[in-house]
Amino acid sequence: MPLTTETLKGMWAGLPVPWTTQDEIDEGSLRENVRRICRAGAHGVYTHGTTGEFYAQTEEEWKRVVRATVEECRSEAKPCQIGCTALWTNEVIRRVSFAQRMGADGVQIAFPFWLELTDDQAVRFLRDVAGAVPEMPFILYNTTRSKKPLTVDLLRRSLDVGIPIVGCKGVRSKQELQEFLKVGPKLKFFVGEYELASHWSPGARGCYSSFVYACPRFMLRYFDLCEQGRTEAQDIEEGLKRFIAEYVMPLIQRGMYDTALDRCFAAMTGFLTGNLLQSRQPYDAATQKDVKECYEWCFNNLPEFIGGV
């Protein structure tokens, strides 16, 4: 069923693609990982963000990941979103059309990012995609990597011309979140795991998460605590913030990006299967040494994280 502003929420898994040692998709492991996270209780599965390496796949590889993910989510009665970001409008339309034909419940799109768009170009882009693929719910991927941050005015203009936006991944502050919700009060906004508790009251309603496929029980409990307004959620958020500050940020400063970090978390707990650490060059991959150090940090500082698989 297509996602709506009523049904879109929760802890969604942004899964990495497992590659073989020959740098090909390990479809068996991919399908198994989708099944595992669905059965663990994740609210949905999301493909082809940064961790999903949409920027480093051929058209056929992209389609293969989409097909496998949609089929396995269907078999587990879980919704899925397909990342359809690309560098030009017609390619985004082709991807959204394929996702719709496969039975995806929604698509997530960042603005084309090689050249920075004007507001007029951004609205036209969304209008053209929506017009070509009607009845497909949009989730905006509001990332600085697109060079075109979502603003209150841009969101207002997009909604005014009828773009079927049901949600947005990424806000820069609580104030911005509140301003967005004044323009689109029914929209669902997703934030990072380390800010869900503090952003819940202003209106956040979920995460596109890497931690959920490292320690699903822990992260799903965290979401439930946020939804219930329990003070324990704030304690978990503080632990995750410390993890980001003390372990993750030094790796980012070293030149490691999302897909390598997220693969490191997954390999640390072993919830997912397959060759998890390999990612596509030229970007650095995590190493077994990184996994060991990540485990040691969590064991000493956030043991409930690795115990929540």
From residue 53, alpha-carbon distances to 13, 78, 253, 257 in Å are: 14, 22, 20, 11
Q: What is the pTM of this model?
A: 0.96
Positions of E strands within the chain = 10-14, 44-47, 80-83, 106-109, 138-141, 165-169, 188-190, 204-209
Q: Which helix (H) or strand (E) holds 104?
A: none
- Domain-wise residue ranges, the chain: 10-229
CATH number of 10-229: 3.20.20.70
Per-residue pLDDT of the chain (309 residues; tens, 9 = 90+): 899 999 999 999 999 999 999 999 999 999 999 999 999 999 999 999 999 999 999 999 999 999 999 999 999 999 999 999 999 999 999 999 999 999 999 999 999 999 999 999 999 999 999 999 999 999 999 999 999 999 999 999 999 999 999 999 999 999 999 999 999 999 999 999 999 999 999 999 999 999 999 999 999 999 999 999 999 999 999 999 999 999 999 999 999 999 999 999 999 999 999 999 999 999 999 999 999 999 999 999 999 999 888
**Pair of tokens at residue 187:** 């929209």
